[in-house]
């Protein structure tokens, strides 16, 4: 007989505050009998547990449904009401038609389904600054460069150095803004303080440097890379009495062609430096096209306001629900206690389209008598810096919207909601930004606050409020430091032993009131033991704690910033910093982890651990590219390359469902899909591989989870994308828009046009499959016809007369084989040329992001498993295990992030926590462990276990938690015997394929052991 286990609603157990009007109900099954299957089910949904106990489903009684499906059963009952809890249970029948007991009751609760349900107003604080865009001070200025530039210089030797000295005697300016533009990367220092690496993307930026200036001699020092010459700067100073001055690169700047000791110091003698020469005029001729970041890019938002309302409860409360959101990020408190476990709520969406909210059950937290509901709000993604584009992308002032519904025992209700009557004051969070860091003044905790009336918010970017989607971001783990090194009496460098994402929990004792403790984060160390921070670019990743002082222990954790780091420098710490005074806090989206694996190869085990840590660190509400530098964006290309691996490591269905909504929101009116989502201005649309993620991701999610809603919800977006590509092509179906090449490939250049053509065909191929799945047969046939034309176009353009593919790169051959772009007669040649290139490169890869996730699978599926293993186990550069051999604890962005001979790569793009190259995890799970989908079947109701031992592995043990339950594949090779232990969840079946034994056989649920003798 079957028993019902875990029950979920839209991938969650008992979700609170959802707004799906037709949620999907799912359940797992278990049975002591092998090969047991469900043949029918019945679902009841009621408004109370009592009704459910009496087997009355007044909201929905599905009746007995003859079906083996136990996942994604769509609710088809009465129209759902706002703020209502629905209770449900299910029973099933097995293959002998035996009826199970009813399951335990599950539930879901709706949020606010109609805009009319919101009585709360958006409020903001009157004391928040009202920033104005900076004027364009650079236009018409001369573009300068070193007069002694050599025409044959390469980037590594062509960096030029510029210095501007200025004397400030007496009164310092109240405002100091430095506007800069460089054609290539620009490093900026003000009085010796490093203000970061500016990676321009043809943008003029402004820095606020008032706090860095001092009485007397001052220096602005800049270094500009010279692969593309050109530098312009203007320094604007304003004084309280109205005086203003502007100093530009038109005069007073000096330049030199090499770095000198102390070149960033005001005290260095630069009399031998020379005057630069003008090479153009900014805003004219070849310098006429540029973009401007309108607000300073090097500051954190502040002050962060706190909002407060008090209310009194004089009778029993049966139910209390808080619905809350922010333009920015919020932390809520009831009677001084933090509400919920979420951080970085409400999350990142395009706030111009949708503003998410959370629902919290406060029934047990509301107390009799006086209560105080509070929230502190930070800038977050709404008003903070975003992706090298500066702050205020969605709005310039943070805001709060909240309403607390109290339902009393006498059936009366009371609503407390944000309006002008709420009070506001400055919080101890003086400033906060996700890139820059946070400054916290603990002296304000017990200070007398100046409460003011709130203002109604007037710059709303959107009006649609939606319940949060996907798993929340939370503090998930704590890490004890590996070591602490003391640099001087008050400065320490802490090694956490793991590259992670989050922050530190710091205990302080003995600090005087007003003492500043500076906390700086980095992923790596320089050779001299100092933090390597150049790869952060403009992100400062610096927190400042201002001590309250007095007796007792002070504790600090930031609230509205996060960092990617393994190393922490703590400056100004009083006393001895020991490992019991600092803890690493690991933060990421709280998706359930679903994979346990151990192999006989320690290096591969570490590689898999690195992959998991990179996924955790970059699953931050959306799939980020990296968690440390001034980017941290949802690049579609990185995400779809890694998505199959991601679904092995975590139950990522809800996570990707949310992000696909962001992608739909970001699609252009003409159908082009963006490179990143949520969309950020200054980034592109319609670029190959990245935009194709809008098609590839729904396909992967459907395959893994068997949920056709991934196709249905995104079908219109995908179809419009295909239409856009057709319009972007000539009569030969060749794309007109030239796009990216094979991003971060090494030693091989695949033509962008070839990659364009391949992924155009791949998107169309997948659309043909997905249209058929949701019964759009005529559209599927049209896509099949279009694919055939694209295949022929590819062959006509990129296959040479001798049958080889243009460029003959590994990526070119892998894509052609993967997508099926070659005539059958040329497939052996293509595979042979791919193998030849791999051998010629001494068993190393050259693929970048566009080919890396497919190369090992294509080799293994075409009988070249030994070659795939040799690539996997290669540990010299470039390879997956090279970084492992060099102490990596996460996946590097590039093969050569650090090498023995060159050290660190170009810091313009050198993340040490970037999951894309970790897409190799999929191959290990599928081919080493052997757990994989069956061809043509989705969702792991039918799957296969087919390990393919090789590479000297003697064992692999894997447990994978699917929606139906745990799949186990555990094998060993010992004394010439291959042994496999397999476990198949109830209500599923597995195709077991043993090595060297033929086609395999199908088994139902249960535990099995197999042996193959004569193993050499």
Annotation marks residue 478 as catalytic: no
Is 326 in the same domain as 208? no
Q: Are residues 307 and 355 in the same domain?
A: yes
Measured in degrees and rounded to the nearest 5, phi and psi for residue 665 equal -60, -30
Q: What is the pLDDT of residue 152?
A: 46
**CATH code at position 13:** 2.60.40.10
- Note whether 584 and 644 are same-domain residues: no
Residues 426, 523, 893, 961: which is the catalytic one?
893
Which comes out higher in pLDDT, residue 641 or 997? 641
Kindly state the average pLDDT of the residues 197-220. Answer: 91
Is the distance from CB of 979 to CB of 1010 less than 8 angstroms?
yes
Q: Is the pLDDT of residue 26 over 90?
A: yes
* Nearest CA-CA partner of 444 in 570, 302, 344, 311: 302
User: How do 175-182 and 903-904 pair as beta strands?
Assistant: unpaired
The three-state secondary structure class of 746 is: coil
Query: Could you say which DSSP state residue 301 is in?
Result: B
In a domain, 822, yes or no: yes
Q: Whole-angstrom Cα distance, residue 180 to residue 182?
A: 7
Within this chain, do residues 603 and 490 fall inside the same structural domain, yes or no?
no
> Of the residues 470, 498, 517, which one is the last residue of a structural domain?
470
Residues 574 and 599 in one domain: no
Domain boundary among 470, 496, 522: 470
Alpha carbons within 13 angstroms on the beta-carbon side of residue 276 total: 29
Question: Is residue 967 within 8 Å of 985, Cβ to Cβ?
Answer: yes
Which residue is it, tokens 């009116």? 669
Q: Are residues 630 and 494 in the same domain?
A: no
* Cβ-proximal residues to 104 (8 Å cutoff; 6+ apart), any chain: 4, 7, 89
Predicted pLDDT of residue 388:
84
| Assigned domain for 963 exists | yes
Whole-number Å distance between alpha carbons of 620 and 470: 11
Name the nearest CA neighbour of 391 among 289, 302, 503, 454. Answer: 302
The answer to whether residue 934 is domain-embedded is: no
In a domain, 137, yes or no: no
Question: What digits encode the pLDDT tens for the residues 247-270?
Answer: 999 989 999 999 999 999 999 999
pLDDT in tens, 29-40: 999 999 999 999
Q: Is the pLDDT of residue 136 over 60?
A: yes
Give the tokens for residue 303.
Answer: 């002050």
The Cβ-side half-sphere exposure at 455, using a 13 Å CA radius, reads 12
Is 557 catalytic? The answer is: no
- How much is the average pLDDT of 498-514? 97
Q: What is the CATH number of the domain that holds 872?
A: 1.50.10.10
Regarding whether 703 and 577 lie in a shared domain, the answer is: no
End-of-domain residue from the set 470, 498, 530 = 470
The mean of the pLDDT values for the chain is: 96
Q: What percent of the chain has pLDDT over 90?
A: 94
For the segment 887-901, what is each residue's pLDDT rounded down to a tens digit? Answer: 999 999 999 999 999
Q: Cα–Cα distance between 385 and 300 in angstroms, integer?
A: 8
Q: Are residues 639 and 785 in the same domain?
A: yes
Residue 151 has pLDDT above 70, yes or no: no
In a domain, 136, yes or no: no
Instruction: Answer whether 936's CB lies under 8 Å from 969's CB.
Output: no
Query: Residue 70 pLDDT > 60, yes or no?
Result: yes
Q: How many residues does the chain have?
A: 1016
Reply yes or no on whether the pLDDT at 307 is more than 50.
yes
- Domain co-membership, 440 together with 488: no
Asked if the model's pLDDT at residue 200 lies above 80, the reply is no
Q: Are residues 222 and 371 in the same domain?
A: no
Do 431 and 329 sit in the same domain of this protein? yes
Residues 245 and 372 both lie in one domain:
no
Average pLDDT estimate for 946-964 = 98
Structure tokens at 552: 């007792």
Which residue out of 438, 631, 864, 961 is catalytically annotated? 631
Q: What local confidence, expressed as pLDDT, does residue 883 receive?
A: 97
**Higher-confidence residue: 996 or 238?**
238
Residue 878 in contact with residue 834, Cβ under 8 Å?
A: no
What are 913-930's pLDDT values in tens digits?
999 999 999 999 999 999
Residue 536 is assigned to a structural domain of this protein: yes
Range of the domain at 967: 942-1012
Is 901 a domain residue?
Answer: yes
Taking the C-alpha atoms of residue 429 and residue 426, their distance in angstroms, rounded to an integer, is 8
Per-residue pLDDT at 147: 85
Across 291-300, 430-439, 867-876, least confident range: 291-300
Helix (H/G/I), strand (E/B), else coil: 773: helix
Centre a 10 Å sphere on the Cβ of residue 962 and count the other Cβ atoms it contains. 23
Answer yes or no: is 135 within a domain.
no
Task: Tally the domains of the chain.
Answer: 6
| Total-model pTM | 0.97
The counts of H helices and E strands in the chain are 16, 60
- How many Cβ atoms from other residues are within 10 Å of residue 23's Cβ? 24
Alpha helices in 848-906 (DSSP H): 849-852, 855-861, 865-873, 880-885
pLDDT tens digits, one per residue of 810-855: 999 999 999 999 999 999 999 999 999 999 999 999 999 999 999 9
Taking only the tens place, the pLDDT of each residue in 726-784 is 999 999 999 988 778 999 999 999 999 999 999 999 999 999 999 999 999 999 999 99
- DSSP secondary-structure letter at 279? E
Q: pLDDT band at 1006, cuts 50/70/90? A: very high
The β-bridge partners of 345 are 330
CATH number at residue 974: 2.60.420.10
């Amino acid at each position: 007989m079957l028993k019902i286990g875990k029950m979920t609603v839209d991938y969650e157990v008992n979700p609170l505050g959802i707004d799906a009007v037709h949620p999907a109900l799912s359940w797992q099954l278990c049975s002591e009998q092998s090969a047991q299957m469900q043949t029918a089910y019945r679902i009841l949904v009621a408004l109370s547990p009592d009704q459910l106990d009496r087997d009355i489903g007044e909201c929905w009684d599905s009746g007995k449904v003859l079906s083996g499906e136990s996942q994604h059963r769509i609710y088809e009952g009465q129209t759902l009401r706002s703020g209502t809890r629905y209770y449900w249970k299910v029973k099933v029948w097995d293959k002998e038609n035996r009826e199970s007991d009813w399951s335990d009751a599950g539930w879901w609760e709706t949020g606010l389904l109609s805009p009319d349900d919101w009585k709360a107003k958006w409020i903001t604080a009157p004391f928040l600054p009202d920033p104005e865009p900076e004027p364009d001070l650079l236009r018409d200025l001369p573009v300068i460069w070193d007069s002694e530039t050599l025409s044959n210089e390469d980037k590594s030797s062509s960096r030029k150095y510029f210095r501007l000295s200025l004397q400030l005697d007496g009164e310092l300016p109240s405002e100091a803004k430095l506007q800069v533009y460089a054609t290539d990367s620009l490093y900026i220092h003000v009085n010796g303080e490093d203000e970061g690496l500016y990676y321009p993307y043809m943008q003029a930026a402004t820095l606020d440097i008032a706090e860095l200036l001092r009485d007397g001699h001052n220096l602005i020092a800049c270094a500009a890379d010279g692969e593309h010459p050109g530098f312009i700067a203007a320094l604007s100073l304003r004084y309280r009495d109205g005086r203003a001055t502007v100093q530009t690169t038109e005069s007073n700047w000096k330049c030199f062609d090499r770095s000198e000791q102390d070149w960033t110091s005001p005290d260095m003698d630069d009399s031998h430096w020379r005057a630069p020469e003008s090479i153009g005029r900014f805003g004219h001729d070849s310098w006429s096209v540029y973009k401007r970041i309108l607000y300073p890019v090097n500051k954190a938002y502040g002050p962060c306001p706190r909002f407060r309302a008090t209310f009194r409860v004089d009778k029993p409360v049966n139910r209390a629900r808080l619905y809350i959101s922010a333009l920015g990020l919020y932390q809520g408190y009831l009677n001084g206690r933090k509400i919920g476990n979420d951080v970085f709520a409400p999350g990142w969406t395009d706030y111009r389209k949708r503003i998410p909210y959370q629902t919290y059950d406060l029934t047990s937290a509301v107390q009799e008598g006086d209560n105080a509901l509070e929230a502190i709000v930070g800038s977050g993604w709404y008003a903070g810096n975003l992706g090298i584009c500066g702050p205020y992308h969605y709005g310039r002032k943070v805001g709060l919207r909240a309403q607390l519904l109290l339902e009393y025992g006498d059936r009366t209700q009371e609503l407390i909601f944000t309006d002008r009557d709420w009070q506001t004051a400055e919080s101890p969070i003086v400033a906060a930004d996700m890139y820059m860091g946070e400054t916290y003044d603990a002296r304000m905790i017990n200070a007398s606050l100046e409460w003011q009336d709130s203002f109604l918010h007037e710059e709303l970017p959107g009006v649609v409020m939606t319940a949060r989607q996907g798993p929340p971001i939370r503090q998930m783990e704590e890490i004890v430091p590996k070591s602490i090194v003391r640099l001087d009496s008050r400065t320490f460098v802490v090694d956490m032993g793991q590259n992670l994402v989050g922050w530190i929990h710091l205990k302080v004792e003995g600090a005087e009131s007003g003492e500043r403790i500076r906390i700086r984060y980095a992923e790596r160390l320089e050779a001299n033991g100092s933090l390597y921070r150049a790869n952060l670019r403009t992100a400062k990743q610096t927190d400042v704690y201002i001590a309250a002082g007095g007796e007792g222990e002070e504790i600090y954790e930031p609230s509205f910033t996060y960092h990617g780091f393994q190393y922490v420098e703590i400056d100004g710490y009083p006393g001895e910093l020991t490992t019991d005074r600092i803890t690493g806090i690991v933060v990421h989206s709280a998706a359930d982890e679903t994979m346990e694996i151990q192999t006989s190869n320690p290096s591969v085990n570490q590689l898999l651990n690195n992959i998991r840590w990179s996924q955790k660190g970059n699953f931050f509400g959306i799939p980020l590219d990296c968690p440390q530098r001034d980017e941290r964006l949802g690049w579609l290309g990185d995400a779809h390359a890694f998505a199959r691996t991601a679904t092995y490591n975590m139950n990522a269905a809800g996570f990707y469902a949310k992000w696909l909504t962001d992608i739909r929101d970001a699609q252009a009116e003409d159908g082009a899909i963006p490179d990143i989502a949520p969309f950020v201005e200054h980034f592109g649309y319609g670029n190959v591989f990245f935009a194709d993620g809008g098609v590839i991701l729904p396909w992967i999610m459907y395959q893994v989870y068997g949920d056709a809603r991934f196709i249905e919800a995104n079908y219109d977006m995908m179809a419009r994308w295909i239409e856009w590509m057709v319009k972007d092509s000539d009569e030969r179906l060749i794309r007109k828009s030239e796009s990216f090449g094979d991003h971060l490939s090494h030693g091989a250049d695949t033509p962008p046009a070839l990659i364009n053509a391949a992924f155009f065909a791949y998107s169309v191929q997948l659309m043909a499959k997905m249209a058929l799945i949701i019964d759009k047969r005529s559209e599927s046939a049209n896509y099949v016809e279009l694919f055939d034309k694209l295949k022929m176009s590819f062959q006509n353009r990129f296959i040479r007369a001798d049958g080889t593919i243009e460029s003959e790169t590994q990526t070119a051959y892998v894509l052609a084989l993967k997508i099926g772009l070659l005539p059958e007669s040329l497939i052996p040649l293509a595979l042979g040329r791919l193998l030849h290139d791999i051998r010629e490169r001494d068993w190393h890869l050259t693929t970048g992001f566009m080919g890396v996730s497919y190369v090992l699978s294509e080799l293994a599926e075409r009988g070249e498993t030994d070659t795939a293993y040799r690539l996997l186990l290669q540990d010299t550069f470039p390879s997956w295990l090279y970084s492992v051999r060099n102490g990596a604890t996460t996946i590097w962005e590039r093969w050569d992030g650090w090498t023995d001979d060159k050290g660190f790569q170009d810091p313009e793009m050198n993340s040490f926590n970037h999951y894309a190259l970790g897409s190799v995890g999929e191959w290990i799970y599928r081919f080493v462990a052997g757990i994989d989908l069956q061809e043509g079947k989705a969702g792991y109701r039918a799957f296969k276990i087919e390990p393919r031992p090789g590479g000297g592995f003697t064992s692999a043990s894997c447990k994978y938690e699917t929606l139906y339950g745990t799949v186990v594949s555990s094998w060993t090779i010992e004394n010439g015997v291959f042994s496999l232990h397999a476990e198949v969840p109830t209500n599923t079946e597995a195709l077991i394929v043993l090595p060297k034994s033929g086609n395999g056989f199908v088994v139902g649920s249960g535990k099995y052991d197999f042996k193959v003798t004569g193993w050499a």
